[in-house]
Amino acid sequence: MADQHDPRYAERMFPAPADHGIALPDRAVSTVRSGTDTAQSGDYKNERWYQGSGRIGERPVESIAVYPPTGGVATQGDPFEPVKIGVLIDMDLGQLTADLMDPIILAVEDALNEGVYDRPVEIVTVDARGLPRENYRKVRLGYQKLVEDGCVVVIGPFISDNSVNVCDLVNSTGVACLGWTGTTRFAGEYCFTVANGDIPTEGWMGADWCFRNGYRKVGFFWEQGSSGDLYADYFRAAARYYGLDVIKETQLGPNPRYEAMLQRFEARFGRVSRNVVVALSYDTARAAIGGIGNARIATPEEVKAGLERIKWMPCTNGGPGCYLTFAEYDHRGYKGDFLTIRELRGGELHFRGYYRPQHPSNTSSPLLKQE
């Protein structure tokens, strides 16, 4: 008869999910008042529209849980573990960190209030600054940490050089990134962009604006690096097309959705910032939670497919005709009037129209002249 031993019992490999006990029946609620440590002092500043409303040196909260409204229903058993959205900060944001983090919180709360997703969400942030000032590996390691922490989608990177740097890693690892990059070289099955324009388009847009406003001799500044080279190449090509002479080398329309979002932002955080980062951050987070809501199950592969099912999502950035749409082989999100022209005069931005290029043969049409 075989020897009998005391049986071994299986223990949980991972700790049980914790419930913060803050869920409310009628609205979504977060574990923090704001996404940075500036909220502790209330030392928000907004001297110039482009500076952002935070403070230099502010730090983002590493983990933020957002609970959906319960509708008065109490669940049984273990609490639901939040699905994780990563935020990959790859640059020195200066006074813009609060303008990045707080719209993400607002976007997730709005989506949960609307029923886009019905389970808790956790926003996990890493500060992994890389190119062009720091080492390339830092951004790669930051992305990998978010993957290892269980994030199913990542917001960022934001800089073109870092986007090119992590492109192969993202596509091979399989956790989708929603970048703000303007480069067309951030592409592949798991690379998505919610970019406020793109480098080729902006190069042509700038030359088109110069031509239509009567400028024939122009100069432009561009930075050395992957994005600067690409921008310069397209601007030069557009300058040749319009007959511009480049003499030296050493860029938002009325949108009721944007204004409505700012009203909710002020009600939630007690401040207003009109920096474009607020609109970009909000739209990107709505895309992230939309992809999770569209997913059959909360895995990176299904969330990627969920992102591809987003069609004509209303946006706060750009003009009223700006929407976000993805598809299986189209991961560049903004469509429509997301590029607008404003002129900076006396420290204020003045709306000057939309970028709606026409073929020369169409410009004589009375219908087009009325736009």
Q: Name which of 320, 313, 273, 301 is nearest 110 in CA terms.
A: 313
SS3 content of the chain, % helix, strand, coil (to 5): 35, 20, 45
Across the chain, which has 371 residues, the per-10-residue mean pLDDT values are 78 93 97 94 77 89 98 88 98 92 98 97 97 94 98 96 95 97 89 82 78 81 57 77 67 76 95 87 97 96 97 90 93 83 73 73 60 48
Q: What residue spans define the domains of the chain?
A: 29-197+256-345
Task: Note the pLDDT tens digit of each residue in 249-292.
Answer: 447 346 889 999 999 999 999 998 888 889 999 999 999 999 99
Cβ contacts of 330-334, under 8 Å, gap ≥ 24: 331/187, 331/188, 331/191, 331/192, 331/193, 331/307, 332/192, 332/193, 332/195, 332/198, 333/178, 333/192, 333/193, 333/194, 333/195, 333/287, 334/194, 334/195, 334/196
User: What does the buried/exposed string (b/e) look like for 283-297 if buried means 16 or more CB atoms within 10 Å of the residue's CB?
Assistant: bbbbbbbbbbbbbee
Q: Give the pLDDT of residue 45.
A: 78
3-state secondary structure of 340: strand
Q: How far is CA 24 from the centre of its chain?
A: 28
Burial class (CB in 10 A: 0-12, 13-18, 19+), 260: exposed
Q: Give the pLDDT of residue 365.
A: 58
Class of CATH domain 29-197+256-345: alpha beta
Task: Note the pLDDT tens digit of each residue in 47-77.
Answer: 776 678 888 899 999 999 999 999 999 888 8
Q: Give the pLDDT of residue 219.
A: 74
